[in-house]
Amino acid sequence: MKTSIAKRVIAVAAAGLISASAVAQEKAQSLDELLQMVRNSKVAESKEHKQREAQFRRQKANQQSLLNQAKQTRTQEEERSARLEAKYQEQEVMVQQKREQLDERMGSLKELFGHMTSTAGDLRATLETSIVSAQYPGRGEFLDQLIDKMNSQTKLPTIEEIERLWFELQREIVEDGKVVKFNGTVIKPDGEQVEQEVVRVGNFNLVSNGKYLEMNDAQKMAELIRQPDSEYLSMAENLQAATSGFTAFGVDPTGPTGGSYLKAMINSPDIVERWHQGGIVGYIITAVGVIAMLLAIWRLLVLSGVSSKVNAQLRDPQPNTNNPLGRVLAVAEENKGIDGETLELKMEEAVLKERPAIESGLNLLKIIAMVAPLLGLLGTVTGMIITFQAITIFGAGDPKAMAGGISSALVTTVLGLCVAIPTVLMHTIVNGRAKRILHILDEQSAGIVAENAERK
């Protein structure tokens, strides 16, 4: 009997009749204590439920009050919205009447403002690229305000503003023909800002301290990173130092449109930059050309010394072994008593021994003269391959980039020709000098053989 009671109590506890907190805090020592704990728990839960029910009822009453208040507010806002809508319609009719009245009173002024707006817009676009703005800044801001006023429905430009528009047009025309000096802030290539004297040549160029300036995107004067040739820089210095009269000066005719000609001229690569564009093949061609020139000069000096010694030997009947002709004559002196055929063979042998030293380096010069253009062609072909690969990847939308790649590729061809042409000339000169010496040796040996044959 006690066992069945215990099972029922445990089942009731498992169903949730006992709160988790009570079970966690106390442990029953017997079945009676457990029943008492269950009874106490039910009483506590009943009180808690009643408190919650009372709280829900109070909140329900408050919610009804809030609902009634919200309905009242909605009714008031709907009435207010109706009043505002009616007022808006009345004012819209009034605004339309005022606009018609404004258009009627403006009359031809409306067309005038349209022309003024167009003129101010054109002038603003002109001032954005005008270097006159370096001397008179802030003109673009005035035009922006004037255009906003003329496009507005509530504002009208004043007489002073209209007169200033006419004044700015006239000033831009007048300043285009002046050469003036003024002080301004110049941005150096390293970013430093310096206050210095600036010379403005009409609307074409700005120069300062012998350097050309440009107007950057922020409408500030900046010194060009790359300058034109020293000839033009000296002209700029003379212009700044002049006080009257005429002074020669290099003017950029595209100055009013942004100075594209000057930029193209100073951005054109010089000889050293062109040489670097040849890349590895260009460096190889240059090295080969230097070797060819050094070899040609060395052989020319050597053959000139040999030629002078041979000429001295021609005037001296006694053979001297410090030159090829003397060594050939010494062979003839050593073999005076032999027959003609043997002497001829010995003389030919002596001349053949001298030939390699005299013709040394000639074959190498010939090879370099032939290989240099081929190396240039190799560099051009590889450069064209790289250029067409770039076109394949990025497309041919920029003709300047494609032309620049082709131009760089042709540099190696120019280098190859620049090496081959002087190498051919030097080879011709050196070869002529060597042949002259060999001709003297052949001539003298043939004469010795002929004299020997006459004696026999």
Q: pLDDT, tens digit, for every residue of 4-22?
A: 444 444 444 444 444 444 4
Q: Work out the mean pLDDT of the chain and round it to a whole number.
A: 82
**Band of residue 196 on the pLDDT scale cut at 50, 70, 90:** very high
pLDDT at position 106: 64
Higher pLDDT, residue 372 or 9: 372
Of 450, 451, 429, 445, nearest in space to 307 by CA = 429
pLDDT at position 400: 63
- Enter the pTM of the model: 0.56
CA distance to 47, 75, 132, 178, per residue, from 175 (Å): 98, 70, 7, 5
pLDDT at position 130: 86
CB atoms within 10 A of CB 36: 12
Percent of the chain with pLDDT over 70: 88
pLDDT at position 27: 62
Q: Say if residue 291's pLDDT is above 90.
A: yes
CA distance to 5, 130, 161, 177, per residue, from 171 (Å): 114, 12, 15, 10
Q: Mind listing the pLDDT tens digit for each residue in 114-146?
A: 888 888 889 888 888 888 888 888 888 888 888
Q: Mind listing the pLDDT tens digit for each residue in 400-419?
A: 666 667 777 889 999 999 99
CB 413 within 8 A of CB 376: yes
Indicate the domain borders of the chain.
Answer: 2-74, 107-175, 179-268, 277-455
Q: What average pLDDT does the segment 42-57 reach?
A: 74
Q: What average pLDDT does the segment 175-181 reach?
A: 89
Q: What average pLDDT does the segment 376-390 reach?
A: 85
Higher pLDDT, residue 29 or 145: 145
What does the longest C-alpha to C-alpha distance in the chain come to? 169
DSSP 342-403: HHHHHHHHHHHHHHHHHTTTHHHHHHHHHHHHHHHHHHHHHHHHHHHHHHHHH-S--HHHHH
